[in-house]
């Protein structure tokens, strides 16, 4: 639980406070004092009478009552101190920075459990143990540096790791990012990242609360809670970015299908973040860059104008934007030439706009004005302006400052001269701005922001699927293992997944009759073995009855074969669709192009069932092979709407069938007549 005493305590006890600033207790006291904590501050230290000018009490028994206690003493001593403070001193919030608990040993975990029981019985909040503390606009309860500038409109930062939090703060400071609060949860014995998000969501005040949250997460213990409250905050106007570290494969899966071979716990994280609308980041620099983007005016399109006085960085930025599926459009030639006539000879205006190294602050202002008022196909501006030694950077940065306030379109300042123009850059940042010193990092981060979908709808729609019929089918099927082809077809039909005609038999005459009925060429596959291709159990493009007869006889002699399945040979683009069940997360749905794209390139997208159409289109569009789906180089594209329909319907069925642990539709063939599932495997575990 999180209470007012933890967030805004009127009195604080530091147990283990010290005069030695190289010890956690000493640094804690110094942080509180330097942070101008306005409440009553008490120190417990049995060896000193005064700590940094503040009276010290020899024990927790003798200290006055207070609202918050911060403990910086050995782990073994913590339970007894917490008990006295909770029961005799009416303390309602605890921060334990000490290590030596569950992160080290079972004995340490027992100490944690003792403390948790005491604080829960007292109805108190508990952060830690093994954390750096908590700091916000009310107090700085940490024993570490740096301590950033705090502002109500700054960023709320939630971190599983104290050390990593400090490095992220360092990265943020170089960009001018301010903070509203920094939470380090350590072992998260009572309060974890999900709980803090829940508190922020339930108590959100759109007038006074920060609308930017960044997260560093090492373990997602409650995915549903994270999903619900993160998406709720985003719907209320907040923006959230997160790093999820430590993603590894979920155990040693047998590669029984492409789905199982590709999917991992990281797939579940990707899917969760997509559904919640969280911008996923992969490094400290990327996280703080995304947070800095959040502080600027909201971008309402993907058309980027680049304004620079140095060609190379502009080209690298254009490349980064294009790779991120953002646009760097050319301008109206008449207006572009009009602008060029007002710049120095040698300037370029095709986008990027290069005012060249001798360009003046007036030229910079002119280029910005054209992008703001005259170029209709511009949604945002990115200004790269360093210090070439020819103009005063302070004048250029003053133009930027003025235009960022005046313009309706967002302006992203890239000021790379953080050494040669250090005072000027710091002055610019002091005015409340951020600075993106690296243009490629900015381009990549902006792409992540603009390609992250909004939170998915929470409405559950059935899309015409007869869920009671699906449940009856599931209940009648075997309890464990892979279903046979006929059982797979029954389930997929119930989900309205279009299927190719097929017939399975161990009787040659039946197989030949079916092939004659549907027409050659046909495909023959063995029934029984899971990995058909590995044993030569698939033959394509069988054009004659004699060829089919030979393949039937050969395949029936392969090990574990119980029959032969025959289908008409379909021609078209191969697609892939699958899902795997992840504990706590639910079904992770995978989609992509088939063949080499899934087998070798692993070009797949992930979503968490059930999927909305917006999520599904986001998954399809994020594929590297999407141009093939759309149609490229004269090749006809596929019916994207039908592909999305199938993905949504499959995910809807999975929402009501937790017994399905793995499903693999590979390939799903896109033909001129529509999309058809050609081969599928389903594994049940009841």
pLDDT tens, residue by residue, 467-515: 999 999 999 987 788 998 889 999 999 999 999 999 999 999 999 999 9
pLDDT tops 70 at residue 257:
no
Q: Is the pLDDT of residue 197 over 60?
A: yes
Work out the burial of residue 317: count CB atoms within 10 Å of its CB; fewer than 13 is exposed, 13-18 middle, 19 or more buried: buried
Q: Terminal CA-to-CA distance of the chain, rounded, Å? A: 36
Q: In what order do the strands lie in the sheet with 538-542?
A: 503-505, 563-568, 522-527, 538-542
pLDDT of residue 635: 80
Distance CA 603, CA 280 (A): 18
pLDDT of residue 262: 54
Q: Are 581 and 660 in contact (CB under 8 A)?
A: yes
What is the pLDDT, as a whole number, of residue 533? 81
Question: Is 534's pLDDT higher than 90?
Answer: no
pLDDT at 249 over 80: no
User: What integer is the mean pLDDT of 85-97?
Assistant: 98
Least confident among 213-227, 403-417, 487-501, 526-540: 526-540
Where do runs of H (alpha helix) occur along 452-544? 467-476, 485-494, 508-518
Please, what sign has the CA dihedral across residues 225, 230, 233, 234?
A: negative
Whether the per-residue pLDDT at 326 is higher than 60: the answer is yes
Q: What is the pLDDT of residue 460?
A: 76
Average pLDDT taken over every residue of the chain: 93
* Average pLDDT score over residue span 198-211: 97
The predicted structure's pLDDT at residue 532: 84
pLDDT tens, residue by residue, 334-355: 999 999 999 999 999 999 999 9
Residue 263 reports pLDDT greater than 90: no
Query: Bigger pLDDT: 464 or 227?
Result: 227
pTM greater than 0.75 (yes/no): yes
Q: Using DSSP, how many helices (H) and how many strands (E) does the chain show?
A: 24, 29
Name the least confident of 46-60, 267-281, 462-476. 462-476
Which domains can be identified in the chain, with CATH numbers? 4-130 (3.40.50.720), 148-294 (3.40.50.261), 300-433 (3.40.50.261), 501-569 (3.30.1490.20), 573-685 (3.30.470.20)
Residue 220 pLDDT class (50, 70, 90 cuts): very high
Predicted confidence at residue 479, as pLDDT, reads 75
Closest CA to 176 of 381, 447, 425, 384: 425
Q: Name all contacts of 500-503 with Cβ < 8 Å and 24+ positions apart.
A: 500/567, 500/568, 500/570, 500/669, 500/676, 500/677, 500/678, 501/567, 501/568, 502/565, 502/566, 502/567, 503/565, 503/566
Evaluate if residue 246 carries a pLDDT over 90.
no
| Predicted pLDDT at 485 | 86
Percentage, residues of the chain above pLDDT 70: 97
Q: How far apart are CA 421 and CA 134, in angstroms?
A: 34
What phi-psi label fits residue 674: left (phi over 0), alpha (psi between -120 and 50 degrees) or beta?
Answer: left
Q: Parallel, antiparallel, or unpaired: how do β-strands 179-184 and 133-136 relate?
A: antiparallel
**The pLDDT of residue 252 is above 50:** no
Inform me whether the pLDDT recorded for 259 exceeds 70: no
* Residue 202 dihedral angles phi and psi, to the nearest 5°: -65, -30
Residue 46, both tokens: 């049995």
For 172, 319, 327, 434, 441, the CA distances from 437, given in Å and listed in that order, are: 12, 17, 21, 10, 9
Residue 294 has pLDDT above 50, yes or no: yes
Looking from the CA of 249 toward its CB, the CA atoms found within 13 Å total: 10
What is the mean pLDDT of the segment spanning 176-201?
97
pLDDT at 264: 58
Phi and psi of 67, rounded to 5°? -90, -35
pLDDT digits (tens, 9 = 90+) for 167-181: 999 999 999 999 999
Positive/negative CA dihedral, 162, 163, 166, 167: negative
In the chain, % of residues over pLDDT 90: 86
For 548-565, what is the mean pLDDT? Answer: 94
**Would you say residue 111 has pLDDT above 50?**
yes
Spatial separation of the C-alpha atoms in residues 150 and 37, rounded to whole Å: 13
């Amino acid at each position: 639980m999180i209470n007012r005493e933890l967030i805004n305590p009127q009195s604080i006890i530091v147990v283990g406070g010290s005069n030695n600033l190289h010890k956690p207790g000493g640094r804690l006291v110094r942080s509180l004092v330097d942070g101008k904590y306005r409440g009553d501050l008490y120190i417990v230290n049995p060896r000193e009478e005064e700590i940094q000018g503040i009276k010290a009490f020899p024990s927790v028994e003798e200290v006055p009552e207070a609202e918050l206690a911060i403990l910086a003493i050995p782990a073994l001593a913590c339970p007894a101190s917490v008990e006295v403070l909770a029961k005799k001193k009416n303390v309602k919030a605890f921060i334990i920075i000490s290590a030596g608990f569950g992160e080290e040993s079972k004995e340490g975990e027992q100490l944690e459990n003792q403390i948790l029981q005491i604080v829960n019985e007292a109805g108190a909040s508990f952060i830690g143990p093994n954390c750096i503390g908590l700091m916000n606009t009310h107090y700085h309860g940490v024993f570490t540096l740096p301590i950033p500038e705090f502002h109500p409109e700054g960023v709320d930062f939630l971190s599983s790791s104290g050390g990593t939090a400090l490095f992220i703060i360092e990265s943020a400071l170089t960009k001018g990012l301010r903070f509203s609060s920094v939470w380090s949860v350590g072992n998260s014995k009572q309060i974890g990242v999900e709980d803090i998000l829940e508190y922020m969501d339930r108590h959100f005040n759109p007038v006074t609360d920060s609308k930017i949250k960044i997260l560093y997460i090492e373990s997602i213990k409650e995915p549903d809670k994270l999903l619900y409250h993160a998406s709720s905050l985003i719907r209320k106007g907040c923006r959230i970015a997160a790093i999820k570290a430590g993603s590894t494969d979920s155990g040693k899966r047998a590669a029984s299908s492409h789905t199982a071979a590709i999917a991992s716990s990281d797939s579940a994280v990707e899917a969760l973040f997509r559904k919640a609308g969280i911008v996923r980041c992969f490094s400290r620099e990327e996280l703080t860059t995304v947070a800095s983007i959040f502080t600027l005016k909201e971008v309402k399109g993907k058309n980027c104008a680049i304004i620079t006085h140095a060609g190379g960085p502009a080209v690298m930025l254009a490349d980064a934007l294009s790779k991120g599926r953002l646009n760097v459009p050319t301008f109206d030639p008449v207006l572009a030439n009009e602008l060029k006539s007002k710049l120095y000879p040698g300037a370029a205006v095709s986008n990027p706009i290069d005012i060249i190294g001798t360009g003046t602050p007036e030229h910079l202002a002119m280029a910005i004005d054209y992008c703001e008022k005259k170029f209709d196909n511009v949604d945002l501006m990115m200004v790269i302006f360093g210090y070439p030694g020819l103009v005063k950077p302070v004048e250029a940065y003053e133009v930027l400052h003025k235009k960022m306030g005046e313009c309706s379109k967002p302006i992203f300042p890239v000021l790379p001269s953080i050494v040669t123009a250090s005072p000027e850059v710091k002055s610019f940042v002091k005015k409340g701005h951020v600075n993106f010193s690296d243009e490629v990092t900015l381009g990549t981060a902006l792409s992540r922001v603009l390609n992250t979908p909004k939170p998915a709808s929470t409405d559950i729609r059935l899309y015409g699927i007869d869920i009671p019929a699906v449940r009856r089918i599931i209940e009648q099927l075997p309890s464990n293992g892979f279903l046979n082809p006929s059982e797979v077809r029954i389930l997929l039909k119930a989900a309205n997944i279009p299927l190719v005609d097929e017939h399975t038999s161990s009787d040659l005459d039946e197989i030949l009759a079916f092939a004659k009925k549907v027409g050659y060429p046909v495909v023959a596959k063995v029934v029984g073995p899971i990995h058909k291709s590995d044993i030569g159990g698939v033959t394509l493009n069988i054009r004659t009855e004699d060829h089919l007869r030979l393949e039937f006889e050969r395949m029936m002699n392969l090990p574990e074969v119980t029959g032969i399945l025959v289908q008409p040979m379909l021609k078209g683009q191969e697609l892939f669709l699958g899902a795997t069940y992840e504990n706590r997360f639910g079904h992770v749905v995978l989609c992509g192009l088939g063949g080499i794209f899934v087998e070798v390139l692993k070009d797949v997208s992930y979503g968490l069932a059930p999927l909305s159409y917006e999520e599904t289109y986001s998954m399809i569009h994020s594929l590297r092979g999407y141009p093939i789906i759309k149609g490229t180089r004269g090749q006809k594209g596929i019916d994207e709407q039908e592909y999305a329909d199938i993905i949504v319907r499959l995910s809807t069925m999975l929402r009501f069938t937790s017994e399905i642990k793995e499903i693999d539709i590979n390939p799903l063939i896109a033909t001129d007549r529509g999309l058809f599932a050609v081969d599928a495997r389903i594994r049940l575990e009841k």
